[in-house]
Chain A
Amino acid sequence: MSIMETYFEDVAALLDRSLAAGEVYLVKLDAERSDFVRLNRGKIRQPGSVTQCYLGLRLIRGQRHAEQALSVSGDFARDREDILAGLGTLRTVLDDAPDDPHLAYATDVRSSRDVRSSSLAASEEVITTVLDAARDVDLVGIYASGPVYRGFANSLGQRNWHEVSSFNLQWSLYQRTDKAVKTSYGGFDWSAESFSARMDEARSRLALLALPARTLEPGRYRAYLTPPAMEELAGMLCWGGFSGRALSTRQSCLFRMQDGTESLNASISFSENVAEGIAPAFQDEGYARPGQVPLIAGGGLVGSLVSPRTAREFDLSTNGANASETPEALDMGAGELAVADALAALDTGILVGNLWYLNFSDRSACRVTGMTRFASFWVEKGAIVAPVNVMRFDDSVYRLLGENLVALTAERELIVSSDSYRERSVGSMRLPGAVLREMAFTL
C-alpha cells in the first residue's frame, strides 16, 4: 500500500469518527507526483516536479448537501485540522441550504482497488536518451511521468482506490516553420528500443516534409484521417455529444440521431470502454462504472453517459458517468482496411496526419470546423507527393462519418491523453483511421 493510499484511509477514518447523526459524507482524492520536462530546440526549456493532493469533501444531511474542495499536504497529522475545518464549514452551509431534488449517491457498498505499479525510469535518464537522439534535429516537446492517484470513500464504508504510474512523451520534429512530425510515446515501462523505433519513424516522415509544400485550393477532397486526426474529431463528439443531460435538453451535437433524423455509416460504433482504458472504474458519487457502455452501434445512437444527477432529473438510469458526462475511455470500432493499404484506398487526396483546434460551426447539424496540422500530405495514386500547407475544413460529422465514409482501418491506436490542465489526465481513446470519399476544405 502506497503512502498516499494509507493517507486516504486515515482521512476516511477521521471523517467516519467525526460525523454527526444523520450525516453522510462522500470524499474523493485526486493526487499526483509528477515530473514535467519541457524541451525546445533539442535543449531543456523548463524542468520541474509537482506534488499535489486535493480532497473533495461532500456532506449530506437529508436532501441537503454541499461541497468543499481543498488542497492538502498529504501529511495526515498536518492536514487533520484543515479537514475538520472543512467539515465544520459544510455543516454551517447545510443549515440554510435548500433540499436538492436531484441529489443522488451510491448506497450499495462496492469497494475496489486497482494498483498498476510500474518501474518508471528516472526522468533525468529518459531526457538524456531523448536529447541524445535529437542532436541533429529541431525537437520540441514535453515529458511527463510519475504516479497518479484517485480515491473515493463514504460513510457507508465504501472504499475505492486507483493508482497508476505512467509516462507520456510528446514531441515534434520540425523541418521548417510549421512543417513538423508529431509523435507520442506513453505507457508504464519505458523502453529505449520502443522510443528509438518511434524516433526513426518520425525521422523518415520528417524527410518527406523537406519536399516543397503544396497549397490547395478550397474544395472537396478525398482524405485519410489517421488515428491522431480521428482523436480530434471524436473529441468533438465527446463535447457533450454523449451526455445524457445534453441529449435530454437538446444541446448535444447528436440530438438529431436521438430523434432518428440523422445517422452515421452503419460501420460506425463507439463505446465507453473503461475496462480497457486507464481511467478509474468508480465515480465521484461512488457508483461503479460498467466495463462497457455502448454509445453508437450500427451508425445509430444506442446509449449515453448518464450521471446520477441527470438520472434523477430526467428519470433515467445512471451508468456511473461523472458530472461532466464526458467519455474517459472512448473506444471506436475497427474496420477492415489494413493500415498498410490506407494510402492505396485514398488514391488521390489528403493524408491528414493531425487535426487542430476544432469547434462547431453549427452544433445542431453536428457541423465542425478545424485545421490540418503537422505531417499532412498530398497523395496521388497512393503515393505521397508533397506536404500540404495548413487547410481549414468545415463539414458535418454526419457526412464525414456517414455517406462519405469509405473504410475504417482494421488496426486501432490507443492514444493516452496528454492533457495536463490542473492535473494529469487518466483519459484515453482507442481509434482507427478512416478513408473519406469527400471532406470540405474552405480556407
Chain B
Amino acid sequence: MSRTRLARDNRPFSIRAMTDLSRTDFPHLRADADFWSLRVVDEAAHNFAVRKNVPQPAAALRDRGAMLTAWAYGGCGYAATSDLSRAGLQAALDRAAHWAQASACASLIDFRTLPQPAPRGDYASPDVDAASWSRRDWYELLAQESRETGCDDRIVDWEASVETRTATHTYLTSAGGDVTQRYRFVMPSISATAHAAGDTQTRSLNGYRGLAQQGGEDMLTRFGFAGSGRRIAEEALRLLGAPNCPTGVMDVLLMPDQMVLQIHESIGHPLELDRILGDERNFAGTSFVTLDMFGNYRYGSDLLNITFDPTLPEELASYAFDDDGMRAEKQYLIRNGILRRPLGGALSQARAGMRGVANARADNWNRPPIDRMANLNLEPGENSIAEMIAGIEHGLLMRTNSSWSIDDSRNKFQFGCEWGELIENGEVRGVVKNPNYRGVSASFWRNLKAVGDKSTVQVLGTPYCGKGEPSQVIRVGHASPACVFTGVDVFGGDS
C-alpha cells in the first residue's frame, strides 16, 4: 500500500516551539532558593480506530505544560502549570520555592546535601523528523484489518486502532543544565472478541497497546501488523471451542508477550528503590526486597540476567537523561541470578547509599519524578523455541497477558493469558482456554529452566504502568525472549 507522506511540522498549532520559549524565559526567573529547575513537556497525540468496520472519529491531543522545582533551606517543592508565559512560570517557581521553604523543617530529605543537577545533552527517537502517515493512510490500513477481523458471526466485537505520539521534553536548571529530548511513538492494536454458548473469548495482538515502540511506522512491518486481523479472529474462534486449561503442576513456556508482564510485576516493581524506601506503602505497596539483599541475594537461576537498558533505539522508554537530569546507561540489575542493583534514581540512591540507575521519571509536566521502570529487559540465552518445546515432557505454552494480580510486596502473584497450548512429550498438542498460573516471586525465578535465544526476543512495552501519589501512568519498555519455568501451579477457568 502506498503511503502519502506529510511533513513532520504539519501540526495543528502554529506557535513557536516551547523549547525556544522556555530557554528565553528561564534566565529571567528568580527564586529565594539554592537551586531551581524547569521541565517543559510538549506532546501531541493522534488516535485513529476502526471498530466493527466503522471508522471512529479522529481524536487528537496537544498537551503542553511546565514543572518548576525549587530547593531551599533543605526542603524541596514543586509547582506545575499550563500557563507557559514568563509570568506563569515565575508564579509557579514562587509556589515551588514556597513549598520548599514551608516543608524544610519536616523534609524527609535534606536537599542541601545533594549535588545540583547540571546535565547537558540531547536525545532523539529513531525517525523523529521523518515524514509520518496521513490520517487517510491509517484509516485505510485499519479498515482493511477490521474487515479481515470481522470474518464470522461469532466475532461479536473487534477493533483495529493506533495511537501515534510525538513529544519534546526540555530540562533546564539554575546550575547550567540544558537537555532536550525528542520522542516519537507508534502504538497499534488489534483485538477480536468471540462469543458462543455462554462463553466469551478475546484474542489480541500482544495485548492492548502491547505493541508500543519508539520510531516510525516501520515497526508495523517488524510485527507483521498488516494481515494480523484474520489470524487474531481465527484464534479467538479456536478458543471458543477449546477445553479449559487443566489443573496441575507443570512446566510452562512463557512467550515474550507474557514474559514482559512477568518481568514487570515480579522483578521491576520489587526492585524500585522508592518502594523499598517506603514511599509507596500507602498506595502501590512495598517490596519483599530489602536493601541488604543487593550484592548477594539469589533472585533466580544462573540463567537470569536482567538489565536496565535505555540504549535500544526502538524500545519504548529509551532516553539519554532521566527527569532529574541523570545520564542513562545500561546496567545489570540481576546477573547470573544474583541481585546487583536497584531501580533507583539519584535521589533514592543518596537516601539508600547505594548505586542505582537513571530512572527518576514523571509521566507528564504535571507530576513530579519518582522511581519508575524504564526499559527493563531479560537478556537472551541460547535455546531456540523448538529446543525449549522439545525439552518439556508435560507443560503449557502461554501467550499474551490477560490478567495480572500481585500482592503489595510484589511476591504472591497470579497471572492469566489469552492463549494456551498443551505440550506433551516435547510436542504441542492442542489449544486450551483460560490459562492461569500462580506463584511467588521469591521462588519462581529460581525455577527458570531455559532462556530463549535472540530469535525468540520481542521488544515490547506498555504505556500504562501505574504508580505514585499523586498517581502517574507511564511508558515502560520490556524486551524478552521466551522462557521455560519448572514446577508451576497451573489452572483454568470455570467457563
Chain A residues with CB under 8 Å of chain B are: 34, 36-38, 40-41, 43-54, 58, 65-75, 78, 81-82, 85-86, 88-89, 93, 96-98, 100-103, 124, 127, 131, 140-142, 144, 170-172, 174, 177-178, 180, 182, 249-251, 255-256, 259, 261, 356-365, 367, 369-371, 373, 390, 392, 394, 396, 419-422, 424, 442-443
Contact = CB atoms under 8 A, between A and B. Distances in A.
B102 A251 contact: no
A69 B473 CA distance: 18
A103 B54 CA distance: 11
Prevailing SS type, chain B contact patch: mixed
Given A46-B368, A52-B366, A75 B193 contact: no
Contact of A396 (B156, B277, B364, B494): B494
Interface string B222-261: 0000000000000000000000000000000000000000
B88 interface: yes
Given A140-B278, A140-B279, A364-B199, A44 B107 contact: yes
B12 A73 contact: no
Contacts of A140: 278-279, 281-282
Given A43-B106, A100-B54, A364 B96 contact: no
Contacts of B434: 361-362
Given A78-B85, A361-B414, A365-B493, A51 B282 contact: no
Interface string B296-326: 0000000000000000000000000000000
A420 B282 CA distance: 14
Contacts of A67: 57-60
B412 A390 contact: yes
Contacts of B76: 46-47
A256 B494 CA distance: 13
B23 interface: no
Nearest to A360: B403
B438 interface: yes
Contacts of A40: 108, 277-279, 281
B75 A180 contact: no
14 contacts: A45-B279, A49-B92, A142-B470, A182-B282, A251-B202, A362-B495, A363-B200, A367-B494, A371-B407, A390-B412, A394-B414, A424-B470, A442-B414, A443-B412
Contacts of A170: 282-283, 469
Nearest first, the 8 A-B pairs at minimum CB distance are: A362-B493, A48-B78, A89-B12, A365-B494, A43-B108, A142-B469, A249-B157, A420-B470
Contacts of B117: none
B65 interface: yes
A48 B99 contact: yes
B470 A144 contact: yes
A50 B79 contact: yes
Interface in B94-119: 95-96, 99, 102-103, 106-109
A51 B81 contact: yes
Given A68-B12, A371-B408, A52 B99 contact: no
Taking residues whose C-beta sits less than 8 angstroms from the other chain, chain B's interface range is: 35 or more
Given A45-B279, A178-B408, 11 more contacts: A46-B368, A47-B76, A74-B82, A140-B279, A251-B200, A359-B405, A359-B414, A362-B493, A367-B494, A420-B470, A421-B466
Nearest to B438: A443
A100 B403 contact: no
Contacts of B436: 361
Interface in B411-427: 412, 414, 416
B200 A364 contact: yes
B16 to A, nearest CB: 12
Contact of B63 (A71, A75, A259, A261): A71
Given A66-B58, A71-B63, A392 B438 contact: yes
Contact of A41 (B64, B135, B278, B283): B278
A95 to B, nearest CB: 10
Contact of B99 (A49, A172, A356): A49
B455 interface: no
A69 B469 contact: no
Nearest to A144: B470
B62 A48 contact: no
A40 B471 CA distance: 16
A369 B438 CA distance: 11
B353 interface: no
Contact of B82 (A53, A367, A421): A53
Chain B CB count within 10 A is highest, among A54, A66, A73, A177, for: A73
Contact of A71 (B54, B82, B277, B403): B82
Contacts of B202: 251
B334 interface: no
B60 A69 contact: yes
B54 A371 contact: no
A296 B469 CA distance: 33
A66 B47 CA distance: 11
A179 B69 CA distance: 34
Contacts of B64: 71
A38 B109 CA distance: 13
Contacts of B83: 51, 73-75, 78
Given A49-B79, A51-B80, A251-B193, A73 B85 contact: yes
